[in-house]
Amino acid sequence: MDITTDFPIDLPDETIKTALIDKINNLTKPKGSLGRLEELALQIGLIQQTLTPALRHPQNIIFAADHGIVDEGVSLSPKEVTWQQISNFVHEGAGVNFLCRQHGFDLKIVDAGVDYDLPRDKGIINLKVRRGTRNYLYDPAMTKEEAILCLERGAEIVSHCQTEGSNILSFGEMGIGNTSASSLWMSLLTDIPLEQCVGAGSGLDSEGIRHKLEVLDKAMHNYTGDGSPADIIRWFGGLEMVMAIGAMLQAARLKMIILVDGFIMTSCLLAASRLHPEVMPYAIFGHCGDEAGHRLLLNAMHARPLLDLGLRLGEGTGAICAYPIVDSAVRMLNEMDTFAHASITKYF
C-alpha cells in the first residue's frame, strides 16, 4: 500500500440529484422549511444513490494509542490514563458507553498502539503497530512503513463493519497527547498559526498551554521532512489517528456515511482529505467542540457541524449525539407524504 494512492474513492454520482431535490421539495412542507434536515437528506441520498436511503447497524470505533510527546509534559493527564480509560470502555462506564446504548450503536475498541499489555479476552481488537509513537520533538513519530500499516489496519476494521451490515460509522479516539498531534496537523496542513491551534486538551491551565505551545513550536522547527501531507501525517501523528485516517478513507471507498466527532477526528478527516479530497462528500460533522482551534478548523474545511454543546470528551461522543438528527433527515425523506399523494395544494 502507498500512503497517498491506494484508496480509490469515487465522488457520489450526481445523476440522481435532481430527482432527490424534487422529492424533498414536494414533501408536505414549505420548500426549505426543514433546513439542515433537507441538506442531510440530499447528501445521504447521493451517498447511497437512492431516493429511499436507510441507516443500518451504526457502529462507533475507538482507536487507542500512546504518544511519545507526552514525555515533554504537554498533557495534564499521565500516559497510563490511556489504558485505564480503555478498561473503563470495556466495563461500559464511560461517556461513550451510555451514548452507544442510548442510540443503538455497537462499540468497537481497537488497540492501535497502546504502551501496555491490554487483556485480549475482553473484546479489545488487537491491531497494535508499536507501543506508542516516538517523541516527535526529536524523531518522526512513526516510519513510513508503520504509517502504511496503520492505514491498512484502519481500512481492515471498516471492511469488517461493512460485512456486519453497517453503512454508517462514527470514529473516536483514546490517546493522551493526541490534541498536540492534532494541533500540529492543523497548523501545517492549513497554515493557521500554531498558537491558534493549541488548547487545553484534557484540562491544562494557561501556564500549561504556554508550555505545550513552546514544545510543539520547537517540534515544528525541528521538522526536517519533505513537507508533503503524507510526511507531516506520519512525522507528527498518533498511531490511532493514522489508523482513523485509513478507516475514514475506506469508509468513503465503500460509500459509507462518516460521522465526524471532535477536534481530533476532525484533524484526522483534514489529513485524510489532504491525501484524498474525494472523502469529503461522505462526511457529516457532528459537532463543534470546546477545544481551542476546533471551530477554526471547521471553518477552514468549510464544514457546518450539527451541534454545539461545548463537548471536548472525544471517544466519538459528539458524533453519536448528532446521530438522531441524521436519522431524522432519513425519516423525513422516507416517511413524509407528498403534496400530490396527500391531495394538498402546494402552499408556497
Active site members: 315
Terminal alpha carbon distance of the chain: 53
- Count of CB atoms situated within 10 Å of the CB of 206: 8
Residue 262, CB half-sphere, CA atoms under 13 Å: how many? 25
Strand partners, 107: 60
- Count of CB atoms situated within 10 Å of the CB of 319: 31
What 3-state class would DSSP assign to 289?
A: coil
Residues 270 and 275: their CA atoms lie apart, in Å, by 9
C-alpha cell at 294: 476546533
Residues 185 and 263: their CA atoms lie apart, in Å, by 11
∠ CA 176-238-286, nearest 5°, is: 80
Residue at grid coordinates 459528539: 318
∠ CA 113-79-285, nearest 5°, is: 65
The 3-state secondary structure of 143-156 reads: CHHHHHHHHHHHHH
Alpha-helix runs per DSSP H in the chain:
17-25, 35-48, 81-90, 95-103, 144-163, 178-190, 206-222, 229-236, 239-253, 263-275, 294-300, 317-335, 339-342
Burial 226-260 (b: 16+ CB within 10 A, else e): eeebbbbbbbbbbbbbbbbbbbbbbbbbbbbbbbb
User: Which amino acid would we find at residue 275?
Assistant: L
314 sits in the region (left: phi over 0; alpha: psi -120 to 50; else beta) called left
∠ CA 292-245-83, nearest 5°, is: 70
C-alpha cell at 277: 479530497
